[in-house]
Chain A
Amino acid sequence: MRTGSKKFLLSKGLDEYFIGVYNAYKFIGRFFKEAFKAPFHFREIINQCFEIGLKALPLITLTGFITGIVFTKQSRPSLETFGATSWLPSLISIAILRALASLVTALICSGKVGSSIGAELGSMRVTEQIDAMEVSAINPFKFLVTTRVLATTITVPILALYCGFVALLGSFVNINAHEATSFISFFEHGFDTITFLDIFTSVTKSIFFGFTIGIVGCYKGYNASSGTVGVGRAANQAVVLSMFLVFIEEVVIVQVSNWIRLF
C-alpha cells in the first residue's frame, strides 16, 4: 500500500509559503485558546517575566541612556538656530515617549529575548524534550509557549516605560551640562506636552511588540527541525521576523493613533 505520494497544488515554494502562513495562523489561534483555559501556570509566567526582564535590563538601561544623550545632542543645533533650546525637554519627551522608548525596547528584546526563546524551544524540540513532556501527559504548548508569550506581552511594556525614563535621564544629564536646568524643571517642561494618548499609544504599541516577539520566537523554536542547524535557524529567523513585524506594527499603530488625535 503506497501512502506517501506527494503532489503540489501550486508549486513547492508557494505551497510551503501558504502552509507556513496557515500554520502560523493556527499557532496564534491555539495560543488564545490555551491562554484562557485552566490550568494557568502563574509561577512559570512570573519566572519567565523575571528571566526576560533580567536578560534585557542592562542592555536597555545602557541603550536608553545613550539614546537620550545622543538625541538631545543631535537636536540642540537645530533648536539653537531658532533660539528655541528651551523646547528641548518637550521635544525629547515627545520623541522618546511616543516612539523611541517602545521601538528601542522592542528591537533590543527581539534580539535578546526573541533569539533566546527561539534557541531554547528549538533545542528542546530537537532533543525531544518537548516530546518528553507530551508523552508525560503535559501540554508542552501551554507550559512553554503560552507562558513565554504572556511573559513577553507583560514585560516588554514595563521595560519600554523604564527605557523611556532612562532615556529622559540621559537627556537631562546632557541638558543639565549645557543649560544648568534643574531636574524638576526638566521634567515639568518635558511632560507639559505629553498627553494621556501618548502614553496609552506607547504602552499599547509595546503590548503588541511584546506579543509579537514572544509568539514569533515560540513559533520558530517550537517548530524547529534538522538538529543543531535548525536551532540556529530558528533563533535567527525569530530575530529577523520579529524585527520586521515590529516595524510594520509601528507604522500601523502610529497611523491609527494619528487618526484618533484628529477627533
Chain B
Amino acid sequence: MQSDNHNDIIDRDDAVISISGLYKSFGTLDVLKGIDLDVHKGENVAVLGRSGTGKSVLIKILVGLLKPDAGIVKVLGQEVDKLQGKELDALRLKIGFSFQNSALYDSMDVRRNLEFPLRMNFKSLTKKEIDIAVEEVLDAVGLLDKINQLPSDLSGGQKKRIGIARTLILKPEIMLYDEPTSGLDPITSVEINDLINDVQRRYHTSSIIITHDLTCAKVTANRVAILLDGAFLKVGTFDDVFATQEERIQSFFNYNFIT
C-alpha cells in the first residue's frame, strides 16, 4: 500500500486542518451534523461516503465557498468563515482545489488555464517565469504535450490531471480532491491515484480526498473517515476502518465491492 510509505512525512503534532462541531444544512435538509476532524501536516485523509452525504460540502466549507451554520473550521490556524477579502484570498492561495468535473476554463487552452491563476495573483512575474512554472507542473502531471490543446479536446483523465496541475502551479500547502477518480476507467483511476501520491511526496502537501472509490482511498490515504448520515462513523487507517463491525460501515463496504 503506497500510503504506508508516506507515514514518515506526517507531523502528528501539527494539524493543518482542524474541524470541530461542524453543522451545515440546506433548507430543511441537515447535511453535516456536528463533525470533527483533524488533518496533520503531510497527511492524506480520504473522506468516504455515499453520494449526497455532504462530502463535497465539507471541502467547500474549507475554502470558504460555503459558510458553516455552526462549528469551528480552522485551516492553517485561521478560522475560514471569519476571513474576508485579501485575508481569505491569501489563505486560498495555499489551498489547491481539484474539482470533480475539473472545472477547466472552456474558452482557454491548457497553457492559458494554467497561466491564468498566476497572472491574476502575481502580476510581477515575467513571461519567462510563468512559462517555466507552466511547463514544470505540466511535466509533473505528464501532459506537457497537451499545452496548446483546448479542454474540449482532452479526455476525462487528462482534464483531471490538468485541473490538478492548475492548482499545483500556485504551490499549495493543502490539496482538496473532490472525487478525483469518478467517471474514469480503472487504468486512468490508477494513474490519478499515483499522481495524488506523487503530489504528496513531491510538494509535501496535506490532502483531503473526497471519494466513494475504495481503491482510491486505500491507495492514497494515510487515514480514512467514513461519512454517513452527516457524521463521521469511524476515522482511522483503511485497514482499521475496514475491519470494524459497525453495520452501516460494513454495508457501505459490501455495497462498494459488489458494485
Contact = CB atoms under 8 A, between A and B. Distances in A.
Given A3-B69, A138-B117, A132 B97 contact: yes
Given A123-B106, A137-B89, A137-B93, A131 B25 contact: no
Interface in A1-31: 1-6
Interface string B56-84: 00001001010001100000000000000
Nearest to A142: B120
B130 to A, nearest CB: 15
Given A136-B117, A138-B120, A1 B28 contact: no
A137 B99 contact: no
A36 B51 CA distance: 43
B238 interface: no
Interface residues of A, number: 20
Contacts of B105: 124, 129, 132
A75 interface: no
B154 interface: no
Interface string A121-140: 00110011101101111100
A1 B95 contact: no
Contacts of B101: 127-128
B25 A138 contact: no
Name the interface size band of chain B: 35 or more
Decide if the interface of chain A is mainly helix, strand, loop or mixed. Answer: loop
Decide if the interface of chain B is mainly helix, strand, loop or mixed. Answer: mixed
B33 A136 contact: no
Contacts of B250: none
Contacts of B166: 132, 136
A122 B157 CA distance: 25
Contact of A129 (B28, B95, B106, B167): B106
Given A135-B97, A137-B121, A5 B28 contact: yes
B34 interface: yes
A132 B178 CA distance: 12
Interface of B: 23-30, 33-34, 60, 63, 65, 69-70, 89-90, 92-93, 95, 97, 99-101, 103-106, 116-117, 120-121, 123, 166-167, 170
23 contacts: A1-B33, A2-B25, A4-B26, A4-B27, A4-B69, A5-B28, A124-B106, A127-B103, A128-B100, A128-B101, A128-B103, A129-B104, A129-B105, A131-B103, A132-B105, A134-B63, A134-B92, A135-B65, A135-B95, A136-B92, A136-B120, A137-B89, A137-B90
Given A123-B106, A124-B105, A128-B99, 9 more contacts: A3-B25, A3-B69, A4-B27, A4-B30, A6-B28, A124-B106, A135-B97, A136-B121, A138-B120
